[in-house]
Amino acid sequence: MMIQEVAGNAHKNCSVCGTRRASALWMAFDGELLCCEHCGLKHLPQLIADAVVAEQGSDIEHAKALMIERFDRAVEHANARIQAKGS
């Protein structure tokens, strides 16, 4: 979820780089995972690719297509939430 949707987290730093202000938050098993835009674009794709390739092996093209489809839906959902707040 976007950080502005969660009260009390507006000034926390990214869990990946530790220096930039986080713009997104995910709840993980052992706490929060906070991420800035820079790390979301530069580092998280590598983390996702490493996790998917390790599990998918030869079926990587299917996994990649599924990931792109889910990303597109996530962007649409995030945009809808922003637009709903503006209404």
Give the per-residue pLDDT at 9. 58
Give the per-residue pLDDT at 49. 84
SS3 sequence of 3-67: HHHCCCCCCCECCCCCCCECCEEEEECCEEEEECHHHHHHCHHHHHHHHHHHHHHHHHHHHHHHH
H or E segment and range at residue 1: none
Write out pLDDT tens, residues 28-79.
888 889 999 999 999 998 988 888 888 766 688 888 898 899 999 999 998 8
What residue spans define the domains of the chain?
1-42, 43-87
